Amino acid sequence: MVEAALQTPAIGRGVTRRSALRRTFGRKSSIAFLMTLPLILLVALLVLYPALYSIHLATLNKSMERFVGFGNFLFLFKRETFWMVVQQSCIFAITAVIFKALIGFIVAHFVHNIPSKGQRKWRGMLLVPWVIPPAMSCLAWLWLFDPSYSAFNWILDKLSIAAVPWTGNADWARFSVILVNVWIGAPFFMIMYLAALKSVPEQLYEAAAIDGANWWQRMWYVTLPMMRNIMAITALFSLIVTFANFDIVRILTAGGPVDRTHVFATWAFRVGIEGGDLPLGASVSLFMLPILAVAAIFILRDIHRRASEMS
């Protein structure tokens, strides 16, 4: 009784307070708009406008005076280099993301396995590749891959294995750029998966253990379903970033040998900025749009689902 009596006025006050709050916030929607205005302007002028402008740019000729419609695209389709770039971009992004996810998953499990006292230290050490600016670490890899002074080849030589042309031969160069990308990106996956692993309630494992589940069954029926969302969203993010990657290929191989390692971004830079053909460069970079659109649809769906789960 006493509790109920105490509660009623509190509820009453809460309602009036809520409505006062709503009134003050609601009336000031113009202030809210002003507060978001810099953000809206920034996104509209420096992201959305250029994105649309690049579509317009892609329909002009090299000196940007004449409308050529799909001329640039038709020109690209006829070039062998373009198809090589398409192929290499896909191989690069897909292989790199698969290995990043795999290594991230495995390392996250090992970190999760050890006593929580030491986890911080290991996690801190293993994230270092992600923290170093990619341009800087790529220089280190470039030096490790150096044709005449490669430190890897020195080790291989000690083991009497023939020297590897890390960036000299097309296949090895492809392997090298993917290796460096995996090295930079795997720690990010590790951190995300570790966070996901920590969020799996311990009771589920206990319940599974009582039911006599072995390691594989626990992994397959408990861990993976609980981590599915974070795994998918991390892979999707990484796919976008990897597909649009510039730094690694640019510094390690600059697209060579003979354009074999170019991805969309580096080739667009070569053609557009260095070659002075901005419309053609814009057309090349526009080919990144489809994959972005697909990824955006998936991410939007995920956001909406979570929003509806929360409300």
Partner 1 sequence: MSTAAITAAAGSARGRRYGSISRDRRWALRWSYFFLVLFAIFFLMPPVYMLITSLKTSQEISAATDPWWVHHPTLGNYIELLTSPTYLTFFRNSALVSVIVVAITMLISVPAAFALSRMRFWGSAALATGVFLTYLIPETLLFIPLFKMFALINEYLDIQLIDRWWVLLVLYPTLTVPFCTWIMIGYFASIPKELDEAALMDGANYRQILTRVFIPVALPGLIAATIFAFTVSWAQFLYPLAFTTSADQLVLPVGIVTSLIKGDVFNWGQIMTGALLGAAPPLIIYAFLMDYYIAGLTAGATKG
Count of residues interacting with partner 1 (CB under 8 A): 105
Q: Which of residues 133-162 bind partner 1 (CB under 8 A)?
A: 133-137, 139-141, 143-144, 146, 148-149, 151, 154-155
Q: Does 294 bind partner 1 (CB under 8 A)?
A: no
CB of 234 to partner 1, least distance (A): 6
Q: Site residues for partner 1, window 64-83 (CB under 8 A)?
A: 64
Under rule CB under 8 A, residue 48 binds partner 1:
yes
174 within 8 A of 90, measured Cβ to Cβ: no
- Angstrom distance (rounded) from CA 158 to CA 308: 60
At closest approach, how far in Å is the CB of 1 from partner 1?
26
Minimum distance of partner 1 from residue 4's CB (angstroms): 21
Tokens of 25: 């916030």
* Cβ 43 vs Cβ 52: under 8 Å: no
CB of 205 to partner 1, least distance (A): 12
**Taking the CA of residue 161 as centre, how many other CA atoms within 13 Å lie in the half-sphere pointing to its CB?**
8
Q: Is 278 helix (H, G, I), strand (E, B) or coil?
A: helix
Question: Residue 236: left if φ>0, alpha if ψ -120 to 50, beta else—which one?
Answer: alpha
> Quick check: 268 binds partner 1 (CB under 8 A)?
yes
Report if residue 226 touches partner 1, rule: CB under 8 A.
no
Q: Is 20 in the site for partner 1 (CB under 8 A)?
A: yes
Q: Does residue number 91 form part of the binding site for partner 1 (CB under 8 A)?
A: no
Looking at the Cβ atoms of 77 and 143, the one nearer to partner 1 is 143
Residue 178's alpha-carbon distances to 59, 94, 242, in angstroms, are 33, 10, 10
Q: How far is CA 73 from the centre of its chain?
A: 27
Residues in 175-204 that interact with partner 1 by CB under 8 A: 183, 186-188, 191-192, 195
> Residue 173 carries which side chain, given as an amino acid letter?
A
Segment interacting with partner 1 (CB under 8 A) among 73-81, 90-98, 166-174, 301-309: 301-309
One of 174, 250, 262, 270 touching partner 1 (CB under 8 A): 250
CA 119 to chain centre: 25
Six-digit token string for 9: 């006025």
Other C-beta atoms closer than 10 Å to the C-beta of 88 total 23
CB of 284 to partner 1, least distance (A): 9
Smaller CB distance to partner 1: residue 146 or 164?
146
